[in-house]
Amino acid sequence: MSKLYLCAIALLATLSINGYCEDAPAAEKRFGQGGGRPSEAQIAEWRAKREAREGQAATADAPSPAGSGAHGDMSAMSGMTGMAGMPGMKDEGSLRSGRSGGKPSMKGMPEGAARSGGRPSGMGMRSGGALWLSDTPPMRGDGARGGRSGMAGMDMSGGGWGKPAVKRLWLRAGNDPQRSGFAQEDADAQVETLLVTPDGKPEGEPLPSASDDRKGLSFEMPVQGFYRLYLTSRKLQGDILNVNVAKAEVANFGHGGDVEEAARGLQATRYSESAPLEIVRERKPDERKFFQLKSGEDQVFIVLKKGLPLQGARVRMVSYQGWSKEEVSDEQGRVSFQIVRDYFPPWNEFEKRFKATYLLIAEANAAETGKYQDKPYTSVRYQASLSGNYYPSPTDYLSYAWALGVGMAILLFCGVAVYLYRRRRVKPYQEERFHEGK
Amino acid sequence: MKASSPRLQALRDAVNHVHFNRFRFWFQLAAFVLFVYGGYLAIDLGSRLPFFACGYNQEGRAGVCYLLPLQHQLSLPWARLFSYAGIAVLTGFLIFALWFIFLNKGWCGFICPLGTIQDWLTSLRRRLGIRYSTYSHGQFAQLTKVKYLLLALMILIPLGIGGGLFSHSMSPPFCLICPARMILPMFTGDFSQFTIDFSSSAAMVMTALGISITALFLVGSFVKKRFFCFFCPMSALHYLISKPALLKLKKDGSKCTRCGDCYNVCDMEIKEIADDIKNTNIMTDDCTMCLKCVASCPETGALKATFAGIPIFESTEAGFIKRMGKGVQHGK
Amino acid sequence: MENDAKVIPIQAAPYNLSRQAGEAENMLDHIVDDFPDNPQSMAYFYDLFRRVYCHGDEVKHEGMLVGTTCIQAPEELIYAFGATPMRLCNGSYHYDQKGADFMPAKSCSLVKATLGMLNSETVIPKIGKPDLIVNPTTCDQKKKASVMIEGMGHSVYELEFPNVKESEASRVYWQRSVRQFAARLRELTGKKLTRKNLQAAMAKTSRAQAAFRKLHNFRRKSPSLILGKDAFLVTNAYFFDDIERWTDAVEKLNAELELRDEAGFKAVQSKAPRVLFTGSPPIFPNLKLPLLIEEAGGVVVTDETCSANRMLYDMTAVDEWLVNDMVDSLADKYLKPCTCPIFTRNDDRRRRLLDLVRDFNADGVVYQAFAGCQVYEMEYRSVADEFNKAGIPMLYIETDYSTDDKGQLSTRIEAFLESLKNRKKHRA
Amino acid sequence: MKYFAGIDVGSTAIKVAVVDEEGKLAGVHVAPSGSLFHKNSLEALNNLLGKLSLQREDVRYLIATGYGRKLFKEADDSISEITANAIGAFEAGKAHGGVRTIINIGGQDSKAIQIDNNGHVVNFAMNDKCAAGTGRFLDVAARNLDLDLEDLGDCHFQGSGAPLTINSTCTVFAESEIIGLLAKGHGKAEIIAGIHYSIASRTVRLAKRVGIEDRVYFDGGPALNKGLVAALQDELGRELVVPEHPQTTTAFGAAMLARSEFMDEQSLEKV
């Protein structure tokens, strides 16, 4: 079956669902009662689990349980940058560039500064900027990436008739979705890649080395569901252990196909208990197979550490155009962002299937001690990244008012025309009319 | 009279004397509920249905109208369409044809939700005591070609899209102007199709056309019985492959008095049903196989619906008298 | 100079002693007495005709009286306006002779008789003076009769009827005519046409039609349960009888025929040739031809004439019971299935005849054309060709209301029936 | 020996024919009808029986036909003269290679009959209640010309000029036309030929209504008139079969039918 057709359907499907709501709060109203958030019972369960684990690992200076109030070394990110939303956005990309991997920086960001356009230089694991997985390679010069991408990032090169689709991801470094280059290899870092397939082990398996291109990570997707790729790199810098987890989540659903398989895929767990730190995009209660995030919507992410919610993690979201905002995860590990609308092309160039990439970086420090490659460390700096795509909101280009206006106008016009025609018609042979009274 | 067992004859009589309009109303209602709300009961009959079970009705649909996947398939890039994807197009068409062959155009007259809505609008008008409109002979002859034009466009435009000649935002062209896209999702509380898409000029034109046609549809089917069916490209597509269909509308010309009763009740104003005494297969391209003509024919055996050659509903004098005897007080 | 000449005063002889009554009585006696086993329920009709035609009893009616000269006048509309339709077509030789004053000698007896009847002081059937006479513009002779009827002091409405029935234009034209007719009736009666009235009127006629159709279906049985002369008498009574009473009587007759059928009763010998009667309508007392056929041992099993089958057979279907729709449907019913020879082409009549022959298992056809009824005379050729092709024997008889050709006709009819019998024997 | 009789009670003459068991004609008799149909019919029958020295009982089956057939109550059955004529002509025509079309001109009517190969009537036509073109026409003409009816045939061939045209088809008007022609000094023979052609053309028109096939059998009283036969043949352009006793074909047919009816009944009784 043609993927194009699938995707177009997916688009239409999401349009028709999301298009209902004029704005996000309305969606909240309508769907809010669903199972979006973890229930009280679930939170209690998580706590119990965490406490049990802490009991076992008494030696480690574990971070304090979420919600305990005492933060230990975990520094809560406060001093938020400006409101995610319209103009008051910070430009962080340029400020960050050049810094070494992941030292949180949260001060001195000028409010309302326009994007400087400075391109981050010297990217890579060494040179700073987060490490993240993207389904689009860095653009080369022309800058016209994004744009129409009916494939929604699906690499069609391998997906022939009857063959499973092949997904190719690129490891990129940088804090700007548009401008991050390929990640440089770092001899010091120890990299481990795990692929979690919908029907595989929950901890995942090493990625089969399918690609000769070091920048591209390819894998086949034979079954429906969410494929997750974890790329974990560890590196000791002084007495600080840097743990970077770049994660990509790829949805693979088809039209037709096995319905049960798709349902299973939709319901399967989407986090890994072995991941040192990871960001999970919280599913909305009404999500279906071909979900698309639209700008203007609120999206909740959950920060998990080894499968458990982590409070106090600093989470930064960077939009396609580089606008960013930072939040700190709450006791359930949740952070919520409104997906900012940053796509303002000239009217006639507007493309409703414009695919934009957002980048999410979570950071947390923990005063954990241990040994890495026989060298001791006293604290661990965790960093997790997740990228995803979002699209223009239907409200940006769909108008109810116009439709209603045009519709009513035509309705009235036709109605009146028919009425007058029938009223005034002195058609030969029909002059004699009868009353329909009883 | 054919020799058949008395029990079978009694059954036939019971069928032939049925209060047809009442039966059809309930049948249509049931079909409407099934295909507009069946999705909530996890009913899914696939996406090759030969009638307007609109795919835009995400929640409730119990299947998808074939025109939607057909247009999508045809708008594939040519390189794929004319290679392996062509097989998918063919198998899709085959499944559609299999569905179709089963009921012929009976899908239109009994199942199609959009047709049912038109019938409801008609009965609303009737209750208001407003007379229906008819086309003149000349208008009929002209307008009856429109559905073939739409069918041709419905195939050519997606091909053009696949070939890069037209914008993708025109896809699927017919669905964008089909009133079912707006009206059917409405029944599940989804008004999202009542919008104009300003994302591109093509999309804007198509959606504006869509809303205009929906408005026209509402006015049209209020004053004209089965207004839209007259222009429906699905109907044209049906007719092209109707030869091997199992359900058939048959006419015995020698029994016909050409009284025009059938023409009088015909929603589609098909004159042939009354005037044509040569063809035994009387279904025309405009026909929706609502079988109202059979129910209103006073000549026993002149009109009948057969399924695989077996008569299932036949015009009878007694049935006619029962159905048309409105207000007749039978003497003791 | 003798001056004993006497002035003889006008003496009105009692009606039952008149030639006219004699003609009717003679025919009725033949119908009743020459045949054994008349159905008992026919007594109503025998009695009706005896009262109306032989005794000259008055025919009662409700509301205004609207006379019609053709089956094309929509009687449902007349009923709906609270008036009573009365078909004026007459079959009396007496009136035929009187009407000859108005029409050329070589014109249709039926039209002449109708004119003669309308011109006489005492109209039989005694219906009084119609408030309006509807004269559809069908055949030339009827068309030209309008002015003459008007000259007799009647008020005439010419209901325009098209000559082509296939075209859509004529259909629309006729619907317009019917609408205008309704307007004229509204003017006449001062009443309004409402859904309820029209529906009630249509219910009346459709009940009558249902009863007729049932009778019609009984005549399919072979050997016959009822003779054609009785069936003609029944449909003739529809011209002037109260429609409800008529329907009741026909339903009673149907019940009796049902009993006859169950008892295996035969009204004629099984060998009796079955005849389809077509052409100019037999109207009492001119039942000469059907009677001759049945006296000679044949049986008229069905007919295609405007005094019986064509008048009552075709029923109206309505999609939406709104006045406009009902009126148009009615108009269609009076035009589309009509097989009157006044239409330019008349394939439907030939098909109808063939269908009737097949359906009623008729052995032969008798085609009556009134001398001077050009349209029937002209259509004879095409009908004969059609039957010839189908191998169905047909006897064409040109005659009028006079009885002086009875001897010759009986020879021809007998010879025809003998040849039918022979064919039947041959086939068996 | 069993005998069977047919009696044709016509408007001008009563014809009786008797056949034997083999269907051979035993004898015929012709008598004028007069006004007392019944009495004259009985007399005619008895006369013939006397001639053939038969008893009434020898005649096992008697069928009446003709205009007055209903009045002759002694008959076992009655049949229309058209059927009887067809049977008679068919039987008589067998000797001449079979006939399919019969033209009969009687005293008051003329008929054309078409029969099939078995002698069954397929189609027939009769003149419409008018004596034009019938025997009565010849009668009237002979009276006007002061000739005997029997002499008309011979006169036909004695003319020196072409036959005159008689325009009037009506017997009454033709009468005055003939007188007019005489007054103008036309010869009797030409007038007679004209009359014959007038009748012949009328008859042929009648015959054409039923369709003319093969040989044409011509019977009835006027078939004795050779002039009329010649005129008819000329108009038809076909061979004519004229029997020896053209008046009695119908009676012969009735007698033949009586025979076959009797045989049928016998065979039924046996079964």
Task: State the residue range of the domain holding D40.
Answer: 3-129+202-270
Of C330, C342, C305, C280, the C-alpha closest to C112 is C280
Please determine, for the modelled complex, whether the ipTM score is greater than 0.90: no
Residues shown for chain B: 332
User: CA dist D177 to A187, B163, D172, D225, Å?
Assistant: 144, 96, 9, 22
Q: How confident is the model at residue D271 (pLDDT cuts 50, 70, 90)?
A: low
Q: Does B294 touch chain C (CB under 8 A)?
A: no
- How confident is the model over B185-208, as a mean pLDDT? 89
Contact D159, D119 (CB under 8 A): no
What whole-number distance in Å separates Cα of residue A219 and Cα of residue C64?
95
What whole-number distance in Å separates Cα of residue B49 and Cα of residue B95?
8
> How much is the pLDDT for A50?
58
Contact A342, A323 (CB under 8 A): yes
Q: How confident is the model at residue A15 (pLDDT cuts 50, 70, 90)?
A: very low
Tell me the β-bridge partners of B304: B250, B314
A438 contacts in chain C (CB < 8 Å):
194-196
> How much is the pLDDT for C147?
93
> How much is the pLDDT for C49?
94
Contact A331, A303 (CB under 8 A): no
Cβ neighbors of C263 (< 8 A, separation 6 or more) are none
Q: Which amino acid is at A314?
A: R
Choose from A341-355, A414-428, C202-216 the range with maximum mean pLDDT.
Answer: C202-216
> How much is the pLDDT for B327?
53
Share of chain C above pLDDT 90, in %: 73
> How much is the pLDDT for C394?
93
> How much is the pLDDT for A9?
44
> How much is the pLDDT for A128?
58
CB contact under 8 A, A433 and C322: no
Which candidate in A422, A426, A427, A429 is best for mutational testing of the C interface (most C CBs within 10 A)?
A: A429
> How much is the pLDDT for B16?
87
Which candidate in A425, A429, A434 is best for mutational testing of the C interface (most C CBs within 10 A)?
A: A434
Of D260, D220, D212, the C-alpha closest to D237 is D212
Summary mean pLDDT of chain A: 69
A13 contacts in chain B (CB < 8 Å):
58
C327 contacts in chain A (CB < 8 Å):
434
Contact C303, C309 (CB under 8 A): yes
A425 contacts in chain C (CB < 8 Å):
none
Of C260, C32, C287, C240, the C-alpha closest to C127 is C240
Contact D45, D28 (CB under 8 A): no
Angle between the C288-295 and C406-427 helix axes, to the nearest 10 degrees? 50
List the 103-142 stretch of B: residues with Cβ below 8 A of C: 126, 129, 131-132, 136-137
Q: How confident is the model at residue A10 (pLDDT cuts 50, 70, 90)?
A: very low
What whole-number distance in Å separates Cα of residue B177 and Cα of residue B110?
23
Choose from A56-65, A390-399, B124-133, D166-175 the range with maximum mean pLDDT.
Answer: B124-133
Q: How confident is the model at residue A140 (pLDDT cuts 50, 70, 90)?
A: low
Tokens of D215: 């040989």
pLDDT tens digits, residue range A352-399?
888 899 999 999 998 888 888 888 888 999 999 999 999 988 888 888
Of C282, C291, C275, C293, the C-alpha closest to C32 is C291
Within-domain flag for C2: no
- How confident is the model over C138-167, as a mean pLDDT? 92
Closest residue to C412, CB basis, from D79, D122, D126: D126
Q: How many CB atoms lie within 10 A of CB D144?
A: 19
Cβ neighbors of A50 (< 8 A, separation 6 or more) are A65, A66, A308
What whole-number distance in Å separates Cα of residue C68 and Cα of residue A363?
102
> How much is the pLDDT for A81?
32
> How much is the pLDDT for C204?
92
Q: What is the dihedral of CA A89, A94, A98, A104, to 10 degrees?
A: 0
pLDDT tops 60 at residue A76: no
Q: Which amino acid is at A285?
A: P
Listed in order, strand segments (DSSP E) in C7-89 are 65-68, 84-87
Which candidate in B70, B139, B196, B214 is best for mutational testing of the A interface (most A CBs within 10 A)?
A: B196
pLDDT tens digits, residue range C283-312?
999 999 999 999 999 999 999 999 999 999
CB contact under 8 A, B327 and C314: no
Closest residue to A2, CB basis, from B80, B190, B215: B80
> How much is the pLDDT for A4?
45
> How much is the pLDDT for B38?
92
Count: domains in chain C = 1
Closest residue to B261, CB basis, from C202, C317, C355: C317
Three-point CA angle D98, D104, D107, nearest 5°:
155
What whole-number distance in Å separates Cα of residue C331 and Cα of residue A393?
60
Q: How confident is the model at residue C217 (pLDDT cuts 50, 70, 90)?
A: very high
CB contact under 8 A, B198 and A414: no
Q: Which class for D226: exposed (0-12), middle (13-18), buried (19 or more C-beta within 10 A)?
A: middle
Task: Show which residues on chain C lie within 8 Å of chain B, measured between beta carbons.
Answer: 166, 168, 199-200, 202-203, 206-207, 210, 213, 217, 247-248, 251, 313-322, 324-325, 328-329, 332-333, 336-337, 348, 351-352, 354-355, 358
pLDDT tens digits, residue range B26-51?
999 999 999 999 999 988 898 899 99
Residue with the larger pLDDT of the pair A422 and C39: C39
Tokens of B262: 């059938």
Choose from A119-133, A146-160, C11-25 the range with maximum mean pLDDT.
Answer: C11-25
Within-domain flag for C14: no
pLDDT tops 70 at residue D242: yes
> How much is the pLDDT for A42?
62
Per-domain residue ranges of chain A: 3-397
> How much is the pLDDT for A46?
61
Cβ neighbors of B73 (< 8 A, separation 6 or more) are A2, A5, B81, B85, B88, B89, B92, B158
CB contact under 8 A, C337 and B258: yes
Count: domains in chain D = 1
Contact C399, C368 (CB under 8 A): yes
C351 contacts in chain B (CB < 8 Å):
253-254, 256, 277
What whole-number distance in Å separates Cα of residue A95 and Cα of residue A114?
12
A431 contacts in chain C (CB < 8 Å):
176, 179
Positive or negative torsion for Cα A24, A135, A358, B171: negative
Within-domain flag for D135: no
pLDDT tens digits, residue range D85-96?
999 999 888 888
What whole-number distance in Å separates Cα of residue C225 and Cα of residue C229?
12
pLDDT tops 50 at residue B163: yes
What whole-number distance in Å separates Cα of residue A103 and Cα of residue A111?
21
pLDDT tops 50 at residue A152: no
> How much is the pLDDT for B65?
94
Chains C+B touching (3+ CB pairs under 8 Å):
yes
Q: Does C265 touch chain A (CB under 8 A)?
A: no
| B137-147 b/e (C-beta count within 10 Å ≥ 16 → b) | eeebeeebeeb
Cis peptide before B113 (omega within 30 of 0): no
In this complex, the chains that touch D, judged by 3 or more CB pairs closer than 8 A, are: C
Indicate which CATH number applies to the domain containing D252.
3.30.420.40
> Which residue from A minimizes the CA distance to B47?
A256
> How much is the pLDDT for D129?
60
Q: Sheet containing D240-241: give its strands across.
A: D121-126, D110-115, D101-105, D216-219, D240-241
pLDDT tens digits, residue range D32-63?
888 888 888 889 999 999 998 888 888 899 99
> How much is the pLDDT for A35?
37
Cβ neighbors of A181 (< 8 A, separation 6 or more) are A120, A123, A124, A138, A172, A173, A174
Contact D249, D8 (CB under 8 A): no
CB contact under 8 A, B201 and A20: no
R_g of chain C, CA atoms, integer Å = 22
Per-domain residue ranges of chain B: 22-238, 246-323
> How much is the pLDDT for A235?
87
| B206-227 b/e (C-beta count within 10 Å ≥ 16 → b) | bbbebbbbbbbbbbbbbbbbbb
CA distance B221 to chain A (A): 11
CB contact under 8 A, B194 and A404: yes
- How confident is the model over D4-20, as a mean pLDDT? 90
C206 contacts in chain B (CB < 8 Å):
321, 324-325, 328
- How confident is the model over B66-85, as a mean pLDDT? 90
Q: How confident is the model at residue B241 (pLDDT cuts 50, 70, 90)?
A: very high
Tell me the β-bridge partners of A300: A336
User: CA dist A43 to A159, A277, A301, C153, Å?
Assistant: 41, 18, 16, 106
> How much is the pLDDT for A40?
58
Contact C19, C280 (CB under 8 A): no
CB contact under 8 A, A8 and B72: yes
What whole-number distance in Å separates Cα of residue B29 and Cα of residue B35?
10
pLDDT tens digits, residue range A281-329?
988 887 878 888 888 889 999 999 988 899 999 999 999 988 889 999 9
Residue with the larger pLDDT of the pair A273 and A153: A273
Contact D151, D192 (CB under 8 A): no
Within-domain flag for D176: no
Summary mean pLDDT of chain D: 86
Three-point CA angle B162, B168, B171, nearest 5°:
85
Share of chain D above pLDDT 90, in %: 18
> How much is the pLDDT for B134?
87
CB contact under 8 A, B292 and C319: yes
What whole-number distance in Å separates Cα of residue A182 and Cα of residue A216?
10
Contact D200, D235 (CB under 8 A): yes
Listed in order, strand segments (DSSP E) in A310-391 are 314-318, 323-328, 334-338, 356-366, 370-372, 375-377, 379-391
A436 contacts in chain C (CB < 8 Å):
195, 322-324
pLDDT tops 80 at residue A417: yes
In this complex, the chains that touch B, judged by 3 or more CB pairs closer than 8 A, are: A, C
Of C236, C242, C238, the C-alpha closest to C209 is C238
- How confident is the model over A168-177, as a mean pLDDT? 85
User: CA dist A364 to A303, A314, B96, D242, Å?
Assistant: 10, 6, 57, 136
> Which residue from A minimizes the CA distance to B127?
A436
- How confident is the model over C369-387, as a mean pLDDT? 92
Of C194, B123, B134, the C-alpha closest to A422 is B134
> How much is the pLDDT for A316?
92
What whole-number distance in Å separates Cα of residue D250 and Cα of residue D6?
8
What whole-number distance in Å separates Cα of residue C172 and Cα of residue C308?
27
Contact A36, A300 (CB under 8 A): yes
- How confident is the model over B233-251, as a mean pLDDT? 93
3-state secondary structure of B97: helix
C324 contacts in chain A (CB < 8 Å):
433-434, 436
DSSP B231: G
List the 181-240 stretch of C: residues with Cβ below 8 A of A: 182-183, 192-196
Tell me the β-bridge partners of D218: D103
B215 contacts in chain A (CB < 8 Å):
406-411, 414
Task: State the residue range of the domain holding C178.
Answer: 20-427
- How confident is the model over B242-253, as a mean pLDDT? 92
What 3 state SS string does A247-298 have?
EEEEEECCCCCCHHHHHHHHHCCCCCCCCCCEEEECCCCCCCCCCCEECCCE
Tokens of A237: 């810098």
pLDDT tens digits, residue range D199-237?
888 888 888 888 888 789 999 888 888 889 999 988 888
CATH number of B246-323: 3.30.70
Q: How confident is the model at residue A75 (pLDDT cuts 50, 70, 90)?
A: very low
Of A398, A320, A331, the C-alpha closest to A359 is A320
> Which residue from B minimizes the CA distance to C322?
B129
A255 contacts in chain B (CB < 8 Å):
47
